A = this chain, B = another copy of it.
Amino acid sequence: VAEYPLYHGGTVRLQLAVDLVEMAEARRLLDLTADLVDIVEVGTPLIIREGVRAVTELKSAYPHNLVLADLKIMDAGGLEARIGFDAGADIVTVLGAAHEETLQGALASARASGGEIMVDLIAVPDPAARARDVDALGADYVCVHTAFDVQASGADPLLHLQHVGPVLRRSRLAVAGGIAPATARAVAAHRPDIVVVGGAIACSQDPARAAREIRSELRRAAAKE
């Protein structure tokens, strides 16, 4: 955490999920917000659309941010993670639903590249049990993630968060899925290392203001402790 003192005042880092599918739009959003976030996430739809050249372009345009490639790897962990790191990603995601061998392959690529792996627990039936496994395997981050497709049905990310955080020994905690200014403080109370925000910043009329609001909520949560 001390490595990126410019980007976070408290104990939590802010990751902006860029789920737009047009590079020009992504650049417009990040020109407004990159200095307000720690980690730029190149979202899965953008990678599907553009390939990892989107990672290379955004890392080059915003060299002071960490860049996460949301590859959601399910197989060929070694190969696919290497494609992400070779393109300039600092962090690559692997699905918690994948086989352990896939995570191990991705971790080996990360170690060889000086990068990190985030395991995304999206749609995993028992997130706390899986978190314990992937923590033991050496995942750098474990992400409690409420899928976009179930956010409308009122799924509560805090429910899993409170069970996953306590089982982690080595991995740091991340949380994603529909987080907005109104919910950021409650999320931050669970002491994640990374809070991922997408639409609440990207779809705001004033993305920089939305990012500042969330940062301020996260700081307040940190100050409370």
Interface residues of A (CB under 8 A from B): 19, 21, 44-45, 47-54, 71-72, 74-77, 79-80, 83-84, 95, 97-99, 101-102, 105, 122-124, 147-150, 153
Question: Which one of A51, A80, A84, A150 has the highest number of Cβ atoms from chain B below 10 Å of its Cβ?
Answer: A51
CB pair A45 B148 closer than 8 Å: no
Give the residues in chain B near A44, CB-CB below 8 Å.
74-76, 80
Determine the residue in chain B with the shortest Cβ distance to A19: B76
CB pair A50 B51 closer than 8 Å: yes
Give the residues in chain B near A21, CB-CB below 8 Å.
79, 83
A54 to B48, CA, bound (A): 10
> Besides the contacts A50-B51, A72-B72, what 9 more A-B pairs have beta carbons closer than 8 Å?
A19-B76, A44-B75, A47-B51, A74-B97, A76-B149, A95-B97, A97-B123, A99-B123, A102-B149
